[in-house]
Amino acid sequence: MKPQQRAIEDMSGQNANDDNPPPIAKMNHILREFRKVIPGDIPVSYIETFLIVATNEGASMGDVQRIGGTRKSTASRTLLVLWEKGLLNRVAHPSELRKLQYSLTPKGRKLVTKINELFGS
C-alpha cells in the first residue's frame, strides 16, 4: 500500500486500529454518525445547531441564532429539521408561550454520547 493511500484511509477512520485516532478521523466519524440520522449531505449549520443545543439545553431559536451567528430563517429551518429527525425536543417557554425552548431527545443524547466517547469524555 502506498503511504499516501494509507494516510487517506487512516484519515477516514476506516483503517484506524489505534485506540486514539487522529482528530481528523474523529471528525469524520462524527460526520458518519450524523449521516446515520440525517442521510446525505449535511450542512454544517445542522451540526453546529445540534452542538449549540447540546451545550445549551433549553436554548431558544434566538439563542441559537445569536450563539451561531446565523440568520433567523437559518436557525428556524435548522431547528425544525433537527426536531423532525428526532434529535431535539421543543416546548413552549413557561413565561413566553410563543417562544420555544429546545433540548435533546434520547436519540440526540445517544449521538452526544457517541461524540463524547470519540473524544474520551
Ranges of each domain in the chain: 3-118
What is the residue-wise DSSP string for 32-89? HHHHHHS-S---HHHHHHHHHHHHSTTEEHHHHHHHHT--HHHHHHHHHHHHHTTSEE
CATH of domain 3-118: 1.10.10.10
pLDDT tens string for the chain (121 positions)? 454 444 444 444 445 455 677 888 888 888 888 888 888 888 889 999 999 999 999 999 999 999 999 999 999 999 999 999 999 999 988 888 788 999 999 999 999 999 888 877 6
Name the 3-class secondary structure at 90.
strand
Which amino acid makes up residue 60? S
